[in-house]
Structure 1
């Protein structure tokens, strides 16, 4: 039921000084000219989670260009632009009670701003004011009947936008037509370039001129260009793409296969790997990594001591344990460095990863390599771990899984690498021939080496088993513990509360913010509805992805009026969270 602005204002003025619980009566729909305000949820007390409020403007009133807001991908980019511009508008209004949510450097699908055929909607959180537990009704009236409609008009009425040029990140002083256009077109170009990777046989491209270093280890903002070395591709790997927009992008193409990145400490090896990790997402202008584009399934793999593992087939890497444990269906509540890294790897492949990103600094040494002296001292039949160096090429030839590996302390992977790139003070050089010469291997050796064998010795590695494991099928109650009475929720960016348990996300490097962790939590709730004791984990992830593609994040939240602030996760991160749930149960 609609009511006029004066009705809501009058109600709030009359509630001034009364017990906070009385605010529940303002729930409903209110019209303010072209702006409709929906008060969906009112916080129970001043110290509870903020109230949930939406503002909406019909498309006919908004008058946005159809060519920028019709295609699904364009709507994601336009909504991202509006989210950033909306925060600028709130800053100009000096209104801190209204929370729109702040995005990071990535352009991602979120629930904060919705663009559909009917119009434009912002979902906000509102801290309604109080003194103690008494309503400050006059201030609440100012927020909801003055500032909120004003915010919506400034953001969603295209005719009111200024013509100020767009600045870094898409806008500087509120929205502009030029800023929106540039933001959407950049997003289009990035998606087109990503689609080109597969056609060109590449798993990544790092654009010339990219600024890869960040301001600090705990910041995702780019280092000042005056302090950073801009990236320049080695001539041997340089790749140029002409985009349909007329833009030309040139940079270092990373071909499918095994690529090893080497160099001295602090010369940029891990920096380029971190950029490739984030390259699975589009980035805003000015980030420095706009043209770092990766295979969208690329997954970071590391050791993770202490994580839970449920029913993974890690036998391709670990077998014949002295304890007699069956590594074809391996479970533990406290994985070691090697078993955790093996689990992370096979789970990534199960979730659809076709590129692995690995840094030796965060890897278990005994999982990665075993040198000749250790092989001589400990016979292969007495060592349960088959190191990754012996499996990396079968992963490529049998599964089509490429690897990008950072190595600073061992040359072991030179023997199995298609490409070796050396970084010297952030400047890359192609050194494959030198690396192969050092270990006595040629490119022809890599092509003709027997499956599962070391191309250098041709004999020391055991025969590679198939990497295709039997499908893991969660039980019907896999995500329905009896003790769980509340929905899953993110606790920061690195933890999800699931019933009485907590799922640790700290090692999942490609989760970029708290809103994405919240998206994972919603996906877990959706998976709970899918699991029936017959549907495999892979099939269930496919169903989640299909729903997200067809209906957006609202599809997995049951189309709640205001789902909160969520960011879409990849299926890889949803799977990673599920796999770390300690109470996960599978059919045998």
Structure 2
């Protein structure tokens, strides 16, 4: 978006000096102003009200094609354009890290606020390309004092010295054609193979040479060289060779459609494999170790979530007669058990189009996964139909595959199409050996697996109003990630939406995207009311794909940085709203 008022560099410098030591709010004079420097221009799209205010100011750096050329091959298709934008944003952040002196003012002001980019490469709205050049939107906290006065000298240092160095860093990285092209080709390869997995009867692929272990349980970064680590290598019986357009033919483990059971001793890589497959719905940066891990884009992790809200969902496929006259066909609770929450997650996922369920025994409700023959004899009237009894039916009748990590029970071996054992992070095909064992078989459920949603959203859902009772203040729109849990809890209106179980959320910008997608749902014509949660989520995602991420931007609101979300995550967030109001 071009600014209304233009200044040259000297005029901008003079203006800053006029503002020095005046009330911080006078920075607002910069809004809708574009500064034209010799090599680039800078526009102010939003200006914060005080030092440390959130959201911070938003600037747009425009780099003209004449000085900052982007090669045509980098934006020749959608996959490459996403990769190119990601490459530029990472380059800008690295330039800031090298050149900018942060926190030069009060309350952290005087700082460039670059996102901490994840290992995954996502479509975003912060970077755009045109024949005229390249635009990079970024947040910056304008420098001020504790007494809320303008620090013009520090602003001058940021926008005249440091920004020039950052722009040069971007230019140098654009000129590094080998690294730039490699980044684009990684994404193009991954998306090409992902779109064609089904043609080979696969739901996931892990290339030989992949390095799946992470640096720690708190980090998604790859394991360090000094920590060791074993390169992945597919067993011959389960190996496939896939054609990557740029990298050529690559051998690896093909996770086939159906039921795949992953077994092995503790600390040998079972959960690590499952986690890598879960994150394989997105491309990864070079050096991550999972660049050639490719998973169906409709895969979803399913786990127990004790205490979550379930509003009116039909979970009768897994849960039968309940006490206190609770109806599993219209199940309401604000405090779900492990089994009812996991049943709900499967139903919700299938309603949103999931074709692969990823399940870790350690994160599941044991009584939902299985029930042995002795327990069946002892408690014949248990209302839970375990997943064990339905997992074949899921694939046979609904085309939904399952990949389950089973470390403490052999039950699922009896219903598995494929069995993989992990030994020191290396897979071993155990399918033939498992079939030679005397294993339990699933019991016939009382009725067919019916997955349907009769719920209709009531008017008034997704109210973003927040009432701060302590300060007796109303905030018209509260949409933000909870500080310290930026990829786990979304603050939306009076709701705290817990999305920790949604593995497709890897970046705080996705949390904001979820929140603004809910806000968009309130503005839809025809209204959201009368549709099921998954139908509404499908409509919103379809609109975003057609119009672009900026369709989520609320009118007259400060600019927001968005990152792509899947239908599965949006539907999951809607279903976890404690204020969700439905008719059934």
TM over 0.5: yes
Q: Structure 1 residues 400-409 or 243-252, which shifts more?
A: 243-252
Match of residue 106 from structure 2: none
* Kept after mapping to 2: 8 A contact 1:490/1:521: no
Match of residue 182 from structure 2: 182
Secondary structure of the corresponding residue to residue 96 of structure 2: helix
Provide the rounded CA distance (Å) in 1 between the counterparts of 2:371 and 2:561. Answer: 47
1:278 Cα offset (Å): 0.4
* Kept after mapping to 2: 8 A contact 1:354/1:400: yes
1:8 Cα offset (Å): 1.7
Residues 21 and 362 of structure 1, relative CA distance in 2, 3 Å threshold: same
Provide the rounded CA distance (Å) in 2 between the counterparts of 1:304 and 1:87. Answer: 36
Secondary structure of the corresponding residue to residue 541 of structure 2: helix
* Kept after mapping to 2: 8 A contact 1:261/1:420: yes
Match of 2:548 among 549, 552, 557: 552
Secondary structure of the corresponding residue to residue 391 of structure 1: helix
Match of residue 470 from structure 2: none
Provide the rounded CA distance (Å) in 2 between the counterparts of 1:37 and 1:560. Answer: 21
2:118 corresponds to 1:104: yes
Match of residue 234 from structure 2: 233
Match of residue 348 from structure 1: 349
Match of residue 566 from structure 1: 562
* Kept after mapping to 1: 8 A contact 2:461/2:522: yes
* Kept after mapping to 1: 8 A contact 2:204/2:255: yes
Q: Structure 1 residues 460-469 or 397-406, which shifts more?
A: 460-469
1:64 Cα offset (Å): 1.4
2:143 corresponds to 1:142: no
* Kept after mapping to 2: 8 A contact 1:533/1:587: no
Secondary structure of the corresponding residue to residue 224 of structure 2: coil
2:491 corresponds to 1:497: yes
Provide the rounded CA distance (Å) in 2 between the counterparts of 1:195 and 1:505. Answer: 27
2:391 corresponds to 1:395: no
Match of residue 210 from structure 1: 210
Deviations 1:16-44 (A, max 9, x none): 11111111112122222342211112111
Residues 481 and 220 of structure 1, relative CA distance in 2, 3 Å threshold: closer
Match of residue 471 from structure 2: none
Match of residue 514 from structure 1: 508
Provide the rounded CA distance (Å) in 2 between the counterparts of 1:114 and 1:20. Answer: 31
1:229 Cα offset (Å): 0.9
1:561 Cα offset (Å): 9.1
- TM-score norm. by structure 1 comes to 0.90
Match of 1:580 among 537, 562, 576: 576
Residues 268 and 178 of structure 1, relative CA distance in 2, 3 Å threshold: same
Deviations 1:418-444 (A, max 9, x none): 011111222211111222221258xxx
Match of residue 448 from structure 2: 465
Residues 527 and 22 of structure 1, relative CA distance in 2, 3 Å threshold: same
Within-5 A mapping of 1:288-307: 288-307=289-308
Q: Structure 1 residues 517-526 or 55-64, which shifts more?
A: 55-64
* Kept after mapping to 1: 8 A contact 2:45/2:559: no
Match of residue 32 from structure 1: 37
1:471 Cα offset (Å): 4.2
Match of residue 475 from structure 1: 458
